[in-house]
Amino acid sequence: MKANLITFTILFISLFPAISKGTHSSQSLPTADTDCTPAITIDVVPEMGSFDNLEGTVSCADPATHHVAVYIFTANGWWSKPTFANPLTLIQPDGSWNANYTTGGTDHLATMLIAFLVPDSYTPPLMGGGSTLPAELFANTLANDRVLRFSDFRWTVKQFDTPVGPGPNLFSGLPEDVWIDGNGRLHLTISQHNGQWFSTEVFTRETLGYGTYVFYTTGQLDQLDENIILGLFTWDNNAPANYYREIDIEIAKWGNPANPNNAQFVVQPWDTPGNLHGFHIAPTTNQLTHAFSWDRERVTFTISTSHQYPPDPNDILATWAYAQPDNIPPTGPANARINLWLYWGSPPANGEPEEVIIDGFQFLPHNSLFLPFVAYEN
C-alpha cells in the first residue's frame, strides 16, 4: 500500500492539430555486435480511438530468434495482443515490427501499451484482463518500451536503471510505479525495489512550444517529504544552448524541512540572479491552479487557490513576470513533462514511498480559445 497519498488534478485538452498517423522516434537497425544492449522502441503510437497498428524497432537482437510481445491495458485490464492464438509479433530483417493491437472490444481505447523484446526460449504469459503484469515477464524478456495515452496526448515513460538527471535518480517504468487507472488518471510514485529508490517521469511525444501551460492540483502539497520534488515543466533534449527550453513550476523543500519556501517558478538557468521566484504554499491550501504563459517577450507565472483559469484576482497566491527577452528560450520542439523525483537521489527522509495522482493538464497555444476546466469527481 502506498504511503502519503496526495492527489494532483490536471486536465489536458489538445487545442492544436492532432498528429493523424502517430508519433515517430529515431530508428536503428539490428546489429551483430555482441557488446551492444538489446533494445526495443515503440516508434508509431496511434491516437486514442484509432485502429492503426503499433510500429516499432528492435536493435542488438537477431530477428530470427526473437519476437515482440505486446500488451495493452483497457477498462478490463491487461490483454495480450494481437490474439491468444497469435500473441507474438514478427521482427523484420531490418529490425522493424508492426503489431495489430485492436483485435476486439475496446482495444482502440487502451490507455497503456507496452512492447517486450522476447527471446524464442521464453514463452510470455497470456493476459486476459488481469490487473497487473506478472513479474516473470520483466525478468525473462530483454527490454521493453511503454507509452501512456493520457488526456489526449501520448506520453513516454522514462526508464533508467542507472542514475540520470534530475537528481541523479533511477527511474522506474514498471506498471505498478507509473500507470493510468480505470478513471483515466495518471499515477506517479517514489518507490523502492531491491533496496534501491526509484523516481518516475513522463513526457509528451507531441511537442508544444509557445503557449499557456496550466496544471490543476488537489492535495496537501506542503506534505511532500523534504527530499521529494514534483516538477511541472517544459524540456527539449536537443537545445542545450537554450538551457533545454526548460521552464519550471516545482513543489519542493530541497532537503530542508524548515525551508520557508516550498514552491518556486524558474526560467533556467536557475542560478542566474533574477531567474527564480520562491514562495510558500500554506497547509490549508488544497486546490491549486499552476500556470505559466511562455512567449518571446516574457514568461508569466501564477499560482491560485481555486480550480479556475484565468484565475479570479482574489484567488492569486503568487504571481511572477519574467521579462528578460534575451534570456527567454525561443520556441521550439519542447514537450511537457511531469516528474516526481528525489533531491540528490537521497531516499525520502521519512523512509516511506510516495504517490501522486494526476488527472489532466491544459495547453493553450496563443490566440486560441481556452476551455473551462472540469475536475474528475470521485
Q: What CATH number should be reported for the domain holding residue 53? A: 2.60.40
Residue 241 inside a domain? The answer is yes
Per-residue pLDDT at 375: 56
Give pairs for 159-166: CB < 8 Å, separation 24+. 163/345, 166/229, 166/231, 166/339, 166/341
Cα dihedral 359, 69, 174, 288 in deg (nearest 10): -10
Domain end position, chosen among 99, 120, 149? 149
Per-residue pLDDT at 246: 99
Residue 75 inside a domain? The answer is yes
133 and 181 in a single domain? The answer is: no
Q: Is 279 left (phi over 0), alpha (psi -120 to 50) or beta?
A: beta
Per-residue pLDDT at 248: 99
Burial class (CB in 10 A: 0-12, 13-18, 19+), 111: buried
pTM attached to this predicted model: 0.87
The domain of 177 spans: 5-17+158-364
196 and 225 in a single domain? The answer is: yes
Per-residue pLDDT tens listing for the chain (378 residues): 444 555 544 444 444 333 333 433 333 344 545 679 999 999 999 999 999 999 999 999 999 999 999 999 999 999 999 999 999 999 999 999 999 999 999 999 999 999 999 999 999 999 999 999 999 999 999 999 999 998 888 999 999 999 999 999 999 999 999 999 888 888 999 999 999 999 999 999 999 999 999 888 777 888 999 999 999 999 999 999 999 999 999 999 999 999 999 999 999 999 999 999 999 998 877 888 889 999 999 999 999 988 888 999 999 999 999 999 999 999 999 999 999 999 999 999 999 999 988 878 889 998 777 677 765 443
Domain end position, chosen among 116, 149, 182? 149
Residue 329 inside a domain? The answer is yes
Nearest Cα residue to 212 out of 113, 295, 92: 295
Domain count, the chain: 2
Residue 27 inside a domain? The answer is no
Per-residue pLDDT at 217: 79
286 and 340 in a single domain? The answer is: yes
Supply the DSSP string of 184-207, one letter for each residue: S-EEEEEEEETTEEEEEEEEESS-
Per-residue pLDDT at 14: 42
Residue 33 inside a domain? The answer is no
Per-residue pLDDT at 219: 75
Per-residue pLDDT at 206: 93
141 and 265 in a single domain? The answer is: no
Domain end position, chosen among 149, 172, 190? 149
Per-residue pLDDT at 207: 95
Between CA 147 and CA 63 the distance in angstroms is 23
224 and 354 in a single domain? The answer is: yes
CATH number at residue 250: 2.60.120.200
Containing 140, the helix (H) or strand (E) segment is helix 135-140
296 and 228 in a single domain? The answer is: yes
143 and 182 in a single domain? The answer is: no
